[in-house]
Amino acid sequence: MRLVTASSANGVCTITLSDPARRNALGSLLFEQLESAVGDAHAMAERRELIAVRLCACGPAFCAGFNLQECVDDPHTLAGFVLRLSSLTRALRAMPAVVVAQVHGPALAGGCAIVASCDIVCASEQATFGYPVHRIGVSPAVSLPTLMGSAGCGGARVLTLSGEIVDAQRAAVLGLVHRIAPDEPSLNALVGELLEELRSKGPQALRETKAWLNAIDGTGPAGQFGAAADRVASATAALCTEVESRTLLADAWRRRARTP
Amino acid sequence: MDELVSLSVNAGCATITLARPQARNALSFELIHALAKVIRDVAARVAAEPDTIRVVVVAGNGKSFCAGMDLKAVLHDPVRMGEMLQQLSLSLLALRQLPVPTIARVQGAAIGGGCGLVVVCDFAVTHPEAKLGYPEVDLGVCPAVVAPWLIKKIGAGPARAMLLLGGTLCGTDALTRGLVTHCVEAAQLDGTVADLAARLMTGGVNAIACTKRFLNELDGSDDESIARAAAELSARVIASPEAQAHLQRHFQIAPPSQPRT
């Protein structure tokens, strides 16, 4: 079953999350396909075949976060997802091509972490962002290394500690969103134009500029990002197997099952 | 030859003026050296007599504040190009490290390295029709020297999007995005800069100096190694075939004649 599709044309690889029924929730299969698509794109970018990666999604949501159904019975699955999310955000940041997120609906928890690791974030007015994960006993800390770059230290603090869900306008004020379109069709057009613009630039200049930004804003592998991200990921994953997280997650799942 | 950068001090306010209006104050090798010298003079005077200069205004003569690096003249001279970028990068650092508030007075255009001068200042005043930004990647060039200062000014996320997309903004958008602190009608530029300078001179000299030094320390402004590495990277990218091809098209000049193999 294809939950993630990827296609390349004219120097742009488009990766689409395609599990609309589950709001593109990050489960084992979707993770696997997304990791593989990102890995393929990286290899293409290394071969100088790509200038940009467009990350978009179909269905009502961009990405609703982890697939909790898979996690309820086995806390180690949740811990594994946390580690995989951390690796994924780093892979997107390390991609030697400009990564553009096209966000048309909710991008929550792990979905928001993915968005925060993209270089340029375009959103429609219907998009929402946030980390409402404390209620299931999970920490959004794996998003912090890239989120603190994107939204600044203050914005990252507000988003990850409050669990508040913000709209595209507010996310733009916080620095997480860089371009806004009124609706989905115009978002699609906006991202198309932006990619067209990127094609007119010097590919090497873009690569060098991205690598330099990673180096100086602390999201490069050599800097604090590498070691800190490892530490945060394993500490956050360890939390998932503790009683607090297991109890809260089970409660949340029961409440959700009862809701008609 | 006329002075390329002038310094005037009037009632505690020092004005550093780029004076190459015929080239829209483009940052040539000579102009950058003159700018570096003037900044050193200001720093020395502030250190010797803290009361004589309490605020610094950076301005440009003519229609434009600064059109950016004058790459055309040094396109085929990588050594001189490298020196020029080092000198500019260290001058931005020196301007940042002045222990008095700095204000950029931006008319017309502030492009690339010229917009670096804008964001390294503590305040910047422009007008709605002005054109500001970093079109480096459009020309196959890497905006490495300005990147650290833009990140400190508008945050890493927005700086990333702005530098990777290139292009320029009008003065109104520059205010919205945080590149400048004030945007007023062109006729009010001087008045606004004068009012702001006057207000900044009412504070305690030591309190302001202490605040600015601590801000620089906290946001990593004192890191000379980043300034040097940035200039090296920028020079390396400009020397690459991709950038040379872009720039030659841009300047519509012929590539240097090379023996065919």
Is the predicted pLDDT of residue B261 greater than 50, yes or no? no
Tell me B259's DSSP state. Answer: -
Strand partners, A258: none
Tell me chain A's radius of gyration from C-alpha atoms. 17
Q: Please give the biggest Cα pair distance in chain A.
A: 55
Sheet holding B131-133, edge to edge: B109-111, B131-133, B168-170
**Which residue among B147, B165, B166 places its CB closest to the CB of A212?**
B147
Superfamily for domain range A4-184+203-258: 2-enoyl-CoA Hydratase; Chain A, domain 1 (3.90.226.10)
Distance from CA of B150 to the nearest CA of A (A): 11
Report if pTM > 0.90. Answer: yes
DSSP A216: H
Convert the pLDDT of each residue in A9-55 to its tens digit.
Answer: 999 999 999 999 999 999 999 999 999 999 999 999 999 999 999 99
Q: Give CA–CA dist A195/A55, Å, rounded.
A: 12
**Does the pLDDT at position B152 exceed 90?**
yes
The CA distance from A150 to the nearest CA of chain B, in Å, is: 4
Spell out the domains of chain B, with CATH numbers in brackets: 5-187+200-206 (3.90.226.10)
Q: What is the pLDDT of residue B256?
A: 52
Residue B225 at interface with chain A, using a CB cutoff of 8 Å: no
Which residue from A minimizes the CA distance to B230? Answer: A212
The pLDDT value given to residue B19 = 98
Handedness of CA A138, A139, A140, A145 (dihedral sign): negative
Answer yes or no: do B151 and A217 touch at CB < 8 A. Answer: yes
Closest approach of chain A CAs to the CA of B68, in angstroms?
Answer: 17
> Which conformational region is residue A74 in: left (phi greater than 0), alpha (psi within -120 to 50 degrees), or beta?
beta
| Alpha helix stretches (DSSP H) within B110-240 | 113-120, 147-154, 156-165, 171-176, 189-200, 205-218, 224-238
Q: Which two tokens stand for residue A9?
A: 């044309």
Contact A151/B at CB under 8 A: yes
Would you place residue B253 in the very low, low, confident or very high pLDDT band (cuts 50, 70, 90)?
low
pLDDT tens digits for range B17-43:
999 999 999 999 999 999 999 999 999
Q: Which two tokens stand for residue B17?
A: 């003026």
Strand-pairing partners, residue B125, are B105, B182
Give mean pLDDT, residues A109-119. 97
pLDDT digits (tens, 9 = 90+) for A133-188: 988 888 999 999 889 888 888 889 989 999 999 999 999 999 999 999 999 999 99
Percent share of chain B, pLDDT over 70: 96
- Show residues of chain B in contact with A150, CB under 8 Å: 156-157, 160
Q: Please give the pLDDT value at position A230.
A: 86
Tell me if chain B has a CB within 8 Å of the CB of A68.
no
Structure tokens, B197: 């300078």
Q: A68-77, A158-167, B61-70 — which is least confidently predicted?
A: A68-77
What is the distance between the alpha carbons of residues A199 and A121, in angstroms, rounded to a whole number? 17
Question: Hey, are the CB atoms on B144 and A208 less than 8 Å from each other?
Answer: yes
φ/ψ of B10, rounded to 5, equals -140, 115
Residue A47, Cβ density class (10 Å: 0-12 exposed, 13-18 middle, ≥19 buried): exposed
Locate the domains of chain A by residue range: 4-184+203-258
- Closest partner CB to A202 (pick from B160, B163, B246): B246
Is the minimum CB–CB distance between A208 and chain B shorter than 8 Å? Answer: yes
Q: Is A112 helix (H, G, I), strand (E, B) or coil?
A: helix
Q: Determine what percent of chain B is predicted with pLDDT higher than 90.
A: 86
Residue-wise pLDDT for B86-119, tens only, equals 999 999 999 999 999 999 999 999 999 999 999 9
Smallest CA-to-CA distance from B103 within B180, B20, B44 is with: B180
Q: Which of A127, A121, A120, A122 is nearest to A104 (CA)?
A: A127
C-alpha closest to that of A64 among A117, A147, A128, A144: A128
ipTM: 0.89
Please list every residue in chain A whose beta carbon sits closer than 8 Å to the beta carbon of residue B163: 209, 213
State whether B136 and A209 contact (CB < 8 Å).
yes
Give the strands of the sheet with A120-124, arranged side by side.
A4-9, A12-17, A52-57, A98-103, A120-124, A179-181
Task: Tell me whether residues A152 and B156 touch, CB distance under 8 A.
Answer: yes
Candidates A5, B16, A226; CA nearest to B4 is: B16
Is A226's pLDDT higher than 80?
A: no
Q: Which residue type sits at B252? A: Q
The residue count for chain A: 260
Is the CB of B156 less than 8 angstroms away from the CB of A208?
no
The C-alpha angle A98, A104, A110, rounded to 5 degrees, equals 70
Are the CB atoms for B42 and B76 separated by under 8 Å? no
Round to whole Å and give the CA distance between B89 and A41.
Answer: 35
